[in-house]
Structure 1
């Protein structure tokens, strides 16, 4: 069986039109209200189907249907808030940028754009639908760039300190994954205790042999939950500050005990590591690494802030 092509996940699909004299189709319903916008059940169903396909292609077992629906809807709500911010800020994606990104996606799948379009058609999608998905993702990146990355600075003193502390092992990289048990902004002591207890319970499940990726999909509150918690490869300098003292001491495949941050409690898994061959990185590389680490530190907190300031009515379990 041919592998399915990879496309970015994004908010997709309008409600399909009903044809006259067709069979009776159940009415669609609202599953979430996000400020002045609504997310429909049909949109959620389409997104869940996409996520299932992505999980299957990565050999990750999908959690129960209801659990997956909650995880996917939570991500859709955050995306909707970010898209509203893009609209309010009059951000846009021009055709040149969009076309270049589409060609890049096709090339990453080993195809020309025409071949990519043909494959999508065979899988029941159109190039126009995927273009809209990608356009929305690019808008979200612009919002994150404007609201988070553009406000991050790196000083010469920070670069000097980093190079001094890293010494000859500054080019080490780690492949990480995480499960985040989030706490709300300004949590009560009871909310913190509940989150910590849940994190400890998940840690014990992992120690007893639970599958990390499946547990991340079903339980993590992080933005990478639907990827099995995978954070990808990160240079040592880009590791979030709260992880910096823990990750180097983990062995391959080991999971940390819960790590407290303003966002909640993190269970971090070291999938693999590389580098550490004694070569020292340049000042420019150090600056880029520190910049990205600071962006990573800020992004989760910023996401919590925009969620807290938005009006969200999650109706998934109300009907």
Structure 2
């Protein structure tokens, strides 16, 4: 490397070209580490790519993008949590074979009413590549696998729980929800709790005064769906997180709850839509109840598990200084 540099420098001198500016540019680092997660690193180029992707998704959903710093911090935090889970998947020797990956990517294209070639063309027009999307899908599939192994495998649904749910009038109604989360660390201090409570109250006032819920979520929420406007998707009654179960059925469409405290922090939940379903009975009904109760427990366990693994990881966030 040194001999090549000297040779090129000598060639420049022979031509009478001042090499200093070119040298300075050549010696500038092309990339830098923005976070260390255990023994792996997240690079600036990776972060920039994900920020661009998040910005496009917000634009497509009609959600006002947060400030550059807030968007950067939100995206980097998501990447840190993903990296921890991917490391765990690697340690567990989990993998995704090409056949399964191809089938999943083709399914995504079909869900968008496109062939695989049309999907690739659309991605290219948006400045993305099919190869990059395949890699994103592969990572998501690995994360789901480790979540299944570490979280879902610990969940059991008893017949007594099914009976209790049916006795309490459980239905197959579905709810489209969004949330804003102000997170708390494990074993928070009184000052941290008070600060989080003050922030969630401030955010609720902003929403009450007309601020767009999705934009506030994108800018301020600590939830994993923040950059989707806090959208939690459509969930059956049994899939609603336990902490929301008593609140959501009593909300009107478009209404935002009062702050709700959980081990993870303080939440505001908004009911975007509600739909009823057809009644079923017998064993089919019990199977549905088992599934909805499983999903509810899985949601509760997953939130706590992510908080736990993040707290147990070595994290050096070089942009915010937070570990």
TM-score in terms of structure 2 length: 0.88
Question: Structure 1 residues 24, 92: closer, same or farther in 2, change over 3 A?
Answer: same
Match of 1:154 among 154, 157, 164: 157
Q: Give the Cα separation in 1 of the matches to 2:238 and 2:141.
A: 26
* Counterpart mapping for 1:6-155 below 5 A: 24=25, 27=29, 28-155=31-158
Aligned-partner SS, 2:294: helix
> Unmatched 5+ residue regions in structure 1?
1-19
Question: Structure 1 residues 23, 62: closer, same or farther in 2, change over 3 A?
Answer: farther
Q: Give the Cα separation in 2 of the matches to 1:159 and 1:206.
A: 37
Q: Deviations over 1:258-311 (max 9, x none)?
A: 101111111000111010666557000000000000001111110000000000
Q: Deviations over 1:80-137 (max 9, x none)?
A: 1011001111100011110110110111121111222233233333322221111111
Question: Structure 1 residues 283, 116: closer, same or farther in 2, change over 3 A?
Answer: same
Q: Deviations over 1:138-192 (max 9, x none)?
A: 001101111111111100000011011125xx01111100001110011112111
Q: Give the Cα separation in 1 of the matches to 2:172 and 2:23.
A: 62
2:161 paired with 1:165: no
Q: Deviations over 1:27-68 (max 9, x none)?
A: 222111111111111111110000010011100110111110
Match of 1:282 in 2: 285
- Of 54-63 and 121-130, more deviation after overlay is shown by 121-130
Q: Give the Cα separation in 1 of the matches to 2:23 and 2:111.
A: 40
* Counterpart mapping for 1:248-267 below 5 A: 248-267=249-268
- Of 184-193 and 68-77, more deviation after overlay is shown by 184-193
> Unmatched 5+ residue regions in structure 2?
1-7, 9-21
Q: Give the Cα separation in 1 of the matches to 2:24 and 2:139.
A: 33
Q: Deviations over 1:220-278 (max 9, x none)?
A: 11111111000111111111111111111111111111101111111000111010666
* Counterpart mapping for 1:133-282 below 5 A: 133-166=136-169, 170-275=171-276, 282=285
Q: Give the Cα separation in 2 of the matches to 1:269 and 1:42.
A: 35
Aligned-partner SS, 1:78: helix
Aligned-partner SS, 1:153: coil
2:309 paired with 1:306: yes
Over alpha carbons, which structure has the higher Rg?
2
Q: Which structure has the highest helix share of the two? A: 2
Q: Give the Cα separation in 2 of the matches to 1:40 and 1:192.
A: 33
Question: Structure 1 residues 317, 182: closer, same or farther in 2, change over 3 A?
Answer: closer
Q: Give the Cα separation in 2 of the matches to 1:130 and 1:264.
A: 33
2:284 paired with 1:293: no
Question: Structure 1 residues 153, 251: closer, same or farther in 2, change over 3 A?
Answer: same
Q: Give the Cα separation in 2 of the matches to 1:134 and 1:148.
A: 20
